[in-house]
Structure 1
Amino acid sequence: MRTIVKGKNFDVPDYVRQYTERKIARLERILDDRSDALVELSVEQHRSAAVSHIVEVTLVIDGRTLRTHAAGPTHHEGVDEVVDKLERRAVDHREKPRVRSRPDEEKNLLRKIADGTAEPGREVKIVKTKRFAIEPMFDEDAAARMDELGHQFFVYVDAESERVQVLYRRRDGDLGVIAPVLGGEYTKGRSAGRSNGRH
């Protein structure tokens, strides 16, 4: 399994890179050598210390992409959590019919994702609605829950702003957040600039 570990606006320490590569390698026993992994690490100082270290992983399996997120007080703990999630999801992914990509596309897909030059994938239609209790959670937890449900959007109460938000998957595979503001006024939580920047 090829693994790319990169930091968002910071240099990843060697010990964190080595730990991440070692943990991601655990997935080989499920996916053998048919997959590649892009791991993006970041630190968000505005979050509480318990969820300030963000880990985002994109797996490329036979030309298909599988994404998940985790957050913790350190990147080590975030990596542990995201690998546990990926192991569960990779088992389900492995059972799907294997679809081969053209050799050049499969070889370069992970690098294109890492460079931000991958072409948008096919937009998936929402075919089912599920009712569930809304509970406060952080964006990364909402993203993980949305992935577990297999939905293209997820409604939740943001733990920081205490407002209802909608997380959705964009056509390019990234995630966006819709944060409604009643009456055009904003009195608590994120600033308007921060929310708009994440759409």
Structure 2
Amino acid sequence: MTVPAGSAAIEVTARGEVDARMRAYAEEKVGVALAVARDPIMRAHVVLGLRHDPAVKVPATAEATVDVGGTVLRAQAAAPSMTEAIDELESRLRRRLTQLQDRTRTRHRWTGVEAEHEWRHGDVPRRPVAWYPRPAESRELMRRKTFAAEPLTVDEAAYDMESLDHDFFLYTDNESGEPALVRRLPEGGYAVQGGAGPEAVAKSAAEVVLEPPPPRLTDDEARARLDSDSEAFVFYLDAGSGQGRVLYRRYDGHYGLIVTG
């Protein structure tokens, strides 16, 4: 395993019946990906998960969270086998580390980048992980996250979303001051909804589609909409406060909630 000098050891956490051989393989492969980093690796944590359920087509998951000189990157993958999940994780993590090194950033913006076309289309979609089929009446809100991040442009929000390997990213638009959400499109590129208007989208270097404004809903209405639809999340404005919120479905069948501060 080769990582930048002075880097932290790779911590591997296993959930489910993940054997020692796969844990060692993950450490080796993530170490190979980390070798492209120029800055010290302050922390590298890998989580492997395996579900033994014949009905689940992609039972193996692999996630990595890496602190590269103070910048947090994240990559995740899902596959039919643990070996495939780890191999895909290495590829996704290597891509993020390469982007971090090759792109000049000013307040998270990419400028003068040789490989700029790569990010304009977004990342290669991950194979979806099946949600645990928990009955709607037994689902609970298991995680609530509130953030008060500095306002961002569409490009900056897309960059942060890609760095964290998320499929969507809730943020505050830097021009309107209103909640906005950027998400990946299955066919490539991005969609933005909320505070970012046509002018903000026109300024973006990415391929961005402007979607209709988010609805005003109560939390109960958002939950009912999520339960009745096949979407993974609902972006909405709180009916009372106008606060931006994303209610999403966790892989364990419960809910998570992200709120703008």
Deviation for aligned residue 1:15: 0.4
Q: List alignment gaps of at least 5 residues for structure 2.
A: 4-8, 106-145, 156-163, 169-179, 187-227, 236-245
Tell me which residue corresponds to 1:43: 50
TM superposition score normalised by structure 2: 0.42
Higher strand share: 2
Matched residues, number? 140
In structure 1, give the amino acid aligned to 2:149: E
Tell me which residue corresponds to 1:5: 12
Change (3 A) 1:166 1:40: same
Tell me which residue corresponds to 1:154: 183
Identity of aligned residues (%): 20
Change (3 A) 1:123 1:28: same
Change (3 A) 1:15 1:48: same
Q: Deviations over 1:6-55 (max 9, x none)?
A: 113x4642101111111111124311571132100112456854311111
8 Å contact from structure 1 (residues 34, 62) kept in 2: yes
Tell me which residue corresponds to 2:65: 58
8 Å contact from structure 2 (residues 167, 184) kept in 1: no
Tell me which residue corresponds to 2:254: 195
Higher helix share: 1
Q: Is structure 2 residue 46 aligned with structure 1 residue 17?
A: no
Change (3 A) 1:92 1:76: same
TM superposition score normalised by structure 1: 0.54
Tell me how far apart the structure 2 counterparts of residues 11 and 66 of structure 1 sit (CA, whole Å): 27
In structure 2, give the amino acid aligned to 1:165: A
Deviation for aligned residue 1:155: 7.2
Bigger Rg, which one: 2
In structure 2, give the amino acid aligned to 1:93: L
SS of residue in 2 equivalent to 1:70? strand
Q: Deviations over 1:39-77 (max 9, x none)?
A: 001124568543111111101100221012110112111
Tell me how far apart the structure 1 counterparts of residues 64 and 234 of structure 2 sit (CA, whole Å): 18
8 Å contact from structure 2 (residues 39, 69) kept in 1: no
Change (3 A) 1:156 1:92: closer
Tell me how far apart the structure 2 counterparts of residues 123 and 48 of structure 1 sit (CA, whole Å): 40
1:84-163 matched pairs, under 5 angstroms: 84-94=91-101, 95-96=103-104, 123=149, 125-128=151-154, 144=165, 146=167, 153-154=182-183, 163=230
